[in-house]
Structure 1
């Protein structure tokens, strides 16, 4: 973790992939080290923090949500695989790897952690920063008076993940089943992964804590459990997807403004929203698409999944109107037929002559 203004850095090392519990613990250590809590923290979309995301609307894991509710800082998430938006901390990771870890003989994790804090005190935070041209530790003395108060006490959780070898076909044998991994995971006979079981799923990580694959828990044996996305090529560009969507919406005057509004509201999820819109309008009529888009535009519904819900609503409404219309036509035709078959009552002329007489 690095403070944005002073560039004061904190490092926490462990030998196993981070979980929500250990990530929360690392936060506590950082707050203790910084002597306060930042008002905002920017994150990568790591699964220890994010359970799911809906085109920019993020659903936190239960453990991290409880942690954020207990501490007064604002959470901001970067888009996946977007190093530019988190460049400051990415530079810190590189700095620690090349200036502290590289060439160091590992003895044990506790000693490594103790020595990294000593290194920060004499080097990492004590030398002039290459960008700001100021000493982080001195700037932190000024910055920390603006941090929020931290009065907690870090409590280290217990976690230990097992190591499994990767087979030549990029699978892992676990409890009589073979679980697929992305192509290229197997490099040589020393290729290993870490495995975690949680929430009825199995998570596979590289040794350096990168998530490789997620599989649902299988109670069968002797199966090959594959994820087809591991070998999938994703070649469509944002421009091509935009052109496809706009071609379908070109008859609607507000289409361009609506797409621009989505891009402005969720710039990092614009491509994902476009794909969802394109998928849902393929089987809809132009009339229904027009109604849905105008409704979403006027009500500032800037999420493609919600756009799809509105589209579905108008389709159901149209289907219901068609049913009622057909019933009215059939009922009208039936009444006309009944009227055509009706015959007026006739009386004998002698009855009228008898009345007149």
Structure 2
């Protein structure tokens, strides 16, 4: 990586001011613990392990540190449980925008599965409209405080269910109202992306963008199917691509055909370091494949995944990576520009954010 890589660790105060781009962040994985507790009381949700915000935040992080994606996903029963009214959805979405802006994020794509918020009778359309209203309110608050952030929405279908085509239609219907793309989420093992080929065909014929969770809990087959059968533009996580990379004892690196294809085609990897450690996709931050993937110049991006469950922010992810791998500001700027280039936003606006926000922002930090 850059010549800065050998320098001392970047102060967190500097990292906090760095402009950031976030492509992989789940709305129901980023609530404030206090908001979870308050919404539980307001909506009559009685299954929380504790109502104390500090203890609750700790519980979410501890429960997510299981080493299993399936166990990790179980924590979402509580956040989704309190997000079943329009008022709750508006509040959670607005607060997410405020929290991301406070962390220096200038562009974010926040994703959620509308089908998870209909338990109390909301329609899928009502869910999308409430969350879009919340994002708009959050952007208004940030602008009023002198900040700047733009948020796009990704609608997820749960891969273990059978509503992908329906959710894909929803994404296309609302793409002029802030929904920038589609995703499938949920347990990878046993639920390959090819179960949803009709949804991906529909999206392609409608010139719609989509990413696919692949290469997190399952290996190369998941990545191969996501790209070659489904046509994914980006890979949600994608860290298991390292299974197709071999390193000799002398340090010589050999890319298999799939890894070479992903790198050559510049397919973005939505890497979420802390989350990957929690779900067992990596043993530690220091052993995370992002070091090798960045050195080999894959299209690496850095993301939070679930800020509540992982107890993380973009700033803390940058800090952990800088400490573990010696990444300097030039490296972090590269990750950020990678992400902005890969955003599901039109070319002119991507270029504008790179040239007027990201590059000047990093230049000011040097």
Between Structure 1 and Structure 2, whose CA radius of gyration is higher?
1
For normalisation by structure 2, the TM-score amounts to 0.24
Higher helix content, 1 or 2: 2
What TM-score results when the alignment is normalised by the length of structure 1? Answer: 0.24
Structure with more contact order per residue of length (Cα contacts < 8 Å, sep ≥ 6): 2
